[in-house]
Amino acid sequence: METHAFRMQLKPGMADEYRRRHDAIWPELAALLREAGISDYRIFLDPETGALFATLKLAPENQRDALPAHPVMRRWWDHMADIMEVEPGNRPREWPLVPMFHLA
């Protein structure tokens, strides 16, 4: 399993709404992520900056690259676009994080 880490950015004052929406994550979205080979997906908030830091595990034969074309993923992005920085098409802006240290 490969670990993938990235940063996203909330709009000011949107932390509570972000948590509320993720606490009610759609079952079809959770299933889609698992079917694509994603597991152990975690998102952390820096409350001072609104930065979100995410980590997830990718199965060797994962289908993560196919997710942007899936209708459920597109609806989720549209659902989240008002509270975070997004690209054209409402995909959340992601900044990759570089591994610097790992203690196993």
pLDDT (0 to 100) of residue 90? 97
Can 70 be counted among the known catalytic residues? no
pLDDT (0 to 100) of residue 104? 87
pLDDT (0 to 100) of residue 62? 95
Alpha-carbon torsion 66, 70, 72, 77, what sign? positive
Asked if 60 contacts 40 with a C-beta cutoff of 8 angstroms, the reply is no
**Position 55: which residue type?**
T
Catalytic residue among 4, 22, 70, 102: 22
Angle at 68 between CA 64 and CA 72, to 5 degrees: 100
Parts of the chain with a pLDDT under 70: none
Phi-psi region of 39 (alpha: psi -120 to 50; beta: other; left: phi over 0): beta
Angle at 66 between CA 35 and CA 38, to 5 degrees: 35
Q: Which domains does the chain have, with CATH numbers?
A: 2-96 (3.30.70.100)
